[in-house]
Structure 1
């Protein structure tokens, strides 16, 4: 992927995102919409995966048919909100290996604090898609990519639901080689680091916590 930032403006994605933004949307509906949008965004994130062919038998004849080349993809969820996107992505790529990076944002410094890491092996030979619904300050996302790179990954994409200009800039400075795929580039961050207009805290809305 060549572009550092790709905004996927498909009408179905934009419609579902509007429903998610509404504050009256229930926890159950919010989670289902996130899963559906994640499925659609996955198509864009995997658009340029390399293909090879293998010989198969259809009911009528033999053919050389296209299939994905190389090792199975790796999906890395940035906890906890990344798990909401992970489910939809696994609907599309059920054979993908799955990893987790646990980070939380210090509410005073807005800097990430790591508390967990479990990643698939052979990341250097896999396409890795890191997922987190919100790219706000970009500090946590950049830190997660740092950890993924230290584990050997070279081909990394970052998939999010919403991005703020500040987060995109942070990621571009820290990881210019990692393309960002998102459904929307929102206006800005507020004084406590939340995306505006945004949709609130994705994790809280997904899991019904405050």
Structure 2
């Protein structure tokens, strides 16, 4: 039986070029040719259909924290193959992914990035093993949810963008509801991209940089950005 190591493909050249610049809190954006990705990209008008966040463990372990409906990689926090919240090696995720990948560098502004680790470790403990939210139409609908009052956010299952939004709120990079911010489940991958009407209102001088490709891929209908 093939192991995770034997199933890997060569580390993408673009990823290798930028790997050393990746830090905890950086945003990872993805898009592929699956039906779900196409529906989400066209439904929201966004170039991207998936979002995750970089977490560095030590000096040389670059991980991706994400919520996915499938995985061929074991979640580091539970040691299991899971359909939901997972922490996986970013290099393996990119090398096996049949789609386009980019990242956005986070400038934390007045925040100290060294403080992110303990906060994220606590949140990872809370959300480890949580399933993926399978209602795709709810995610597309999140594009419009900010126009009407919503119920309290439910973290029992999570979309990819909901996970990242919750993390950014815990890191005080985004306002929480009680401060006038959006519920975490009203964010979509578009919010974390570099375009669109709903730009992130990052706090304390934090900023996200331009999208930088980590893996190129030809997409159906190719509405993804060409850099």
TM-score, length basis structure 2: 0.24
Highest relative contact order (Cα 8 Å, sep 6+), 1 or 2? 2
Instruction: Point out the structure with max Rg over C-alpha.
Output: 1
